[in-house]
Amino acid sequence: MAENMRDIKRRISSTQNMKQITKAMKLVAAAKLRRAQEQAQASRPYTDKMREVIASVAAGAKGIQHPMLVSRPVKKTGYLVISSDRGLAGGFNANLLRSLTKTIKERHQSSEEYGIFAVGRKGRDFLKRRDYPIIAEVTGISDSPQYADIKSIAKQAVQMFAEGAFDELYLVYNEFINPVTQRPVQNCLLPLAEVETEDDAGIQALYEYEPSPEEVLEAILPRYAETLVYSALLESKASEFGARMTAMSSASDNATEMIAKYTLEYNRARQAAITQELAEIVGGANALS
């Protein structure tokens, strides 16, 4: 009985230590989430302005047939997948990768029909273990990512599309809805057919192009596509911290329940031990009398 009580006390102590860790991780994730949201919001005006300029150039030069603006028959598809480097984030990575593998099974008959650009260690490891065709990878991205962190892989993906290696390119990442909701999405990054026909409300700005609209598009379209990748990375980071905060909150709540359960077991065992000791004392007294 005494040994059983010692085991229960050890469980209570270890669970209390784990609860302290999960609570600290929740607070850290909440602080990082706030910074990630601010960073994502700060990047939107730049992306919106680039979209406005591209729409204006494309509308003012109808004869332009840039490869990034034109849809073509799909023979090979590229997927740029953004996951996290670390776990302990609930279903953040599992839901995203499940959605990706389901899409690949539905769309493609063989691995020759698609290629994957992996951002994040969790996604990279998952795909490598299952022999998916990974063209390029980036891991070890900081909690406050910079454009330079994904510039090389984004540039490679966009360039391969422009050169005809892919006929379409999808961004696969977790969209941030709110701190407790993250949604896996697959957005068509290229071709940018929808930019050409975009009709923004209000007064349209007039631009003069030097040296020509064609050369302006040639320079700005790849940069715009790379910026969309960076924006998706910022969304994914905010989603990751939201998922981790939620997971650590659930872990702390579960630890509280386990501590209450173990405490009840300990009190029952202690009460049983006291009752047994009293019964032994009374029995001994009766035997002496």
Domain range annotation of the chain: 2-26+247-288, 31-246
- What tokens appear for 202 in the block? 């209000």
Q: How far apart are CA 147 and CA 126, in angstroms?
A: 25
Predicted local distance difference test score (pLDDT) of residue 201: 47
Instruction: Please give the pLDDT value at position 28.
Output: 95
**What's the pLDDT band for 47 if we cut at 50, 70, 90?**
confident
Residues 84 and 29: their CA atoms lie apart, in Å, by 14
- Beta bridge partners, 78, equal 115, 169
Task: Tokens for 148, please give them.
Answer: 């330079």
Q: How many degrees, rounded to 5, is the angle at CA 196 between CA 193 and CA 202?
A: 135
pLDDT at 198: 45
Residue 38 identity? E
Confidence check: pLDDT of 65 > 80: no
The pLDDT tens digits for 166-219 are 999 999 999 999 988 999 999 999 988 655 444 444 555 666 767 777 787 888
* Rounded Cα–Cα distance for residues 80 and 102 (Å): 15
pLDDT on residue 168: 95
- Close Cβ partners of 261 (under 8 Å, ≥ 6 residues apart): none
% of the chain at pLDDT higher than 70: 90
Residue 44 — very low, low, confident or very high, per pLDDT cuts 50/70/90?
A: confident
**How does pLDDT run across 220-266, given as a tens digit for each residue?**
888 889 999 999 999 999 999 999 999 999 999 999 999 999 999 99
User: What is the per-residue pLDDT for 269?
Assistant: 87
5-9, 49-53, 86-90: range with lowest mean pLDDT: 49-53
- In the DSSP assignment, the letter for residue 163 is T
Three-class SS of residue 79?
A: strand
Q: Are 236 and 173 contacting, i.e. CB atoms less than 8 angstroms apart?
A: yes
Residues 65-78, mean pLDDT to the nearest whole number: 86
Domain 2-26+247-288 falls in which CATH fold? Helix Hairpins (1.10.287)
* Closest listed residue to residue 161, CA positions, set 153, 171, 152, 169: 169
CA distance 253 to 242: 17
The mean pLDDT of 269-286, rounded to a whole number, is 83
| HSE toward the beta carbon, residue 165, CA cutoff 13 A | 13
Supply 107's token pair.
């769309």
135-174 tens-digit pLDDT: 999 999 999 999 999 999 999 999 999 899 999 999 999 9
- Given a contact cutoff of 8 angstroms between Cβ atoms, the answer to whether 175 and 95 are in contact is no
How many CB atoms neighbour CB 196 within 10 A? 17
Q: How many CB atoms lie within 10 A of CB 38?
A: 13
Strands 77-82 and 134-138 turn out to be unpaired
Q: What is the pLDDT of residue 94?
A: 96
pLDDT at 60: 62
Predicted confidence at residue 216, as pLDDT, reads 79
Same fold, 2-26+247-288 and 31-246: no
What's the rounded Cα separation, in Å, for the pair 228 and 224?
6
- Element holding 186 (H helix, E strand): strand 181-190
Between 272 and 264, residue with greater pLDDT: 264
Q: Which CATH code fits 31-246? A: 3.40.1380.10
**CA–CA distances in Å: residue 149 to residues 96, 117, 153, 183:** 21, 14, 9, 23
Distance CA 242, CA 237 (A): 9
How many residues belong to the chain?
A: 289
User: Over the stretch 91-136, which tens digit does the pLDDT of each residue have?
Assistant: 999 999 999 999 999 999 999 999 999 999 999 999 999 999 999 9
26-36: average pLDDT: 94
pLDDT at 7 over 60: yes
How far is the C-alpha of 119 from the C-alpha of 141, rounded, in Å?
9
